[in-house]
């Protein structure tokens, strides 16, 4: 693809060492890889440029009408190239690495969007995607709206006295709890909601022992509503298999370890839509407020 000439101001910025993202305003066949990327592109009003999606991109609902090129962590170059994109915008962690290498070697513009699980990170994600699409004005407008939502969430979180401890349960498989520790999207959204992650002693999504759960003594158990790992952002270790909304509460609270926690004794289990909860996209401020209200309902 022939790239436009650099503007003089951009040349000066580059010479001065300033960081500048690449921009492809001429791209008309854009492929997003990752639910939050797709959601942000829709929020920017640039959805008419999309030619496909990955399996985790299920919001807004109309995104489901786009051709599905495969699961974001298990892509094949053939599947991605089948929709003839002229720009790929991918969440950090899309893969496998061999597939990404093939796509880059094909000469396609491939933008990797940084993944951070805090307010600044989600705003940066909006800025990077808007820059890649060449729509900085739309990006600034969305940035400002989301910043206001996140500020409202922070204000709500500041009303908390003693923060409640929340155990995020990614899945219940084989009688074991797969929980979210530090460095995860679950940890980030729990903090934005003004609560504390009960699993401070582990990093990432990992199976935890009954003893660790009882010792953590969570006040609230948090799970995703949607069934199937492909329907929500996948943790980087590839774990998944969360229960559907209808089965989650009864199954979780029947587990002896969970039943012995304050959350289990009080039946304090809450669920939210997976992509909204963990996506760190344009609904993150709204998600933090919703989660705060679920955690502290009746407090």
Topology of the domain comprising 161-295: Rossmann fold (3.40.50)
pLDDT tens for each residue of 201-220:
999 999 999 999 999 999 99
Pairwise CA distance, residues 93 & 248, whole Å = 28
What's the pLDDT score for residue 298? Answer: 64
Whether pLDDT at 299 is above 70: no
What's the pLDDT score for residue 11? Answer: 35
Angle at CA 116, nearest 5°, toward 245 and 37?
A: 65
- The region that residue 84 occupies, defined by phi over 0 for left and psi between -120 and 50 for alpha, beta otherwise, is left
Q: Dig out the tokens for 254 from the structure.
A: 């029947």
Q: Do domains 8-154 and 161-295 have the same CATH topology?
A: yes
What's the pLDDT score for residue 249? Answer: 82
Whether pLDDT at 295 is above 70: yes
Q: Span 271-275, mean pLDDT?
A: 94
Percent of the chain with pLDDT over 90: 79
Q: Dig out the tokens for 106 from the structure.
A: 């094909």
What's the pLDDT score for residue 293? Answer: 96
pLDDT tens for each residue of 23-34:
999 999 999 999
The domain ranges of the chain are: 8-154, 161-295
The answer for residues whose C-beta is within 8 angstroms of residue 44's C-beta and 6 or more apart is 129, 130, 133, 135, 138, 139, 142
Pairwise CA distance, residues 196 & 145, whole Å = 26
Closest C-alpha to 18, from 26, 27, 9: 9
What's the pLDDT score for residue 250? Answer: 85
pLDDT tens for each residue of 229-266:
334 454 544 444 444 444 668 889 999 999 999 999 99
Pairwise CA distance, residues 18 & 247, whole Å = 52
pLDDT tens for each residue of 62-92:
999 999 999 999 999 999 999 999 999 999 9
What's the pLDDT score for residue 21? Answer: 58
Return mean pLDDT, the chain.
88
Percent of the chain with pLDDT over 70: 85
Angle at CA 251, nearest 5°, toward 250 and 254?
A: 80
* Lowest-pLDDT choice from 22-36, 92-106, 144-158, 237-251: 237-251
Quick one: CATH architecture of 8-154? 3-Layer(aba) Sandwich (3.40)
What's the pLDDT score for residue 235? Answer: 52
* Lowest-pLDDT choice from 4-18, 36-50, 129-143, 184-198: 4-18
Range 118-137 burial, b when 16+ CB lie within 10 A, else e = bbeebbbbbbbbbbbbbbee
Pairwise CA distance, residues 89 & 275, whole Å = 18
What's the pLDDT score for residue 19? Answer: 37
Q: Span 293-299, mean pLDDT?
A: 86
């Amino acid at each position: 693809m022939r790239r436009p000439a650099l503007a003089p101001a951009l040349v000066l910025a580059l010479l001065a060492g300033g960081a500048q993202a690449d921009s492809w305003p001429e791209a008309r066949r854009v492929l997003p890889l990752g639910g939050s990327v797709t959601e942000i592109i829709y929020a920017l009003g640039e959805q008419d440029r999309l030619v496909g999606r990955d399996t985790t991109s299920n919001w807004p609902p109309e995104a489901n009408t786009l051709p599905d090129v495969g699961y974001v962590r298990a892509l094949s170059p053939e599947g991605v190239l089948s929709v003839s994109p002229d720009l790929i915008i991918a969440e950090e962690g899309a893969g496998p690495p061999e597939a990404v290498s093939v796509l880059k070697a094909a000469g396609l513009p491939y933008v990797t969007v940084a993944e951070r699980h805090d307010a600044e990170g989600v705003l940066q994600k909006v800025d990077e995607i808007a820059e890649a699409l060449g729509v900085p004005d739309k990006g600034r407008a969305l940035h400002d709206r989301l910043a206001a939502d996140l500020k409202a969430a922070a204000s709500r979180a500041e009303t908390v006295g003693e923060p409640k401890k929340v155990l995020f349960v990614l899945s219940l498989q084989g009688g074991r709890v797969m929980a979210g520790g530090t460095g995860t999207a679950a940890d980030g959204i729990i903090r934005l909601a003004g609560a504390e992650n009960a699993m401070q002693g582990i990093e990432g999504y990992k199976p935890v022992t009954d003893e660790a759960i009882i010792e953590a003594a969570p006040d609230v158990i948090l799970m995703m509503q949607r069934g199937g790992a492909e329907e929500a952002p996948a943790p980087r270790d590839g774990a998944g298999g969360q229960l559907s909304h209808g089965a989650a509460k009864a199954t979780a609270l029947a587990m002896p370890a969970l039943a012995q926690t304050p959350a289990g004794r009080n039946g304090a289990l809450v669920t939210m839509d997976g992509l909204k909860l963990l996506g760190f996209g344009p609904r993150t401020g709204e998600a933090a407020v919703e989660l705060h209200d679920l955690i502290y309902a009746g407090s």
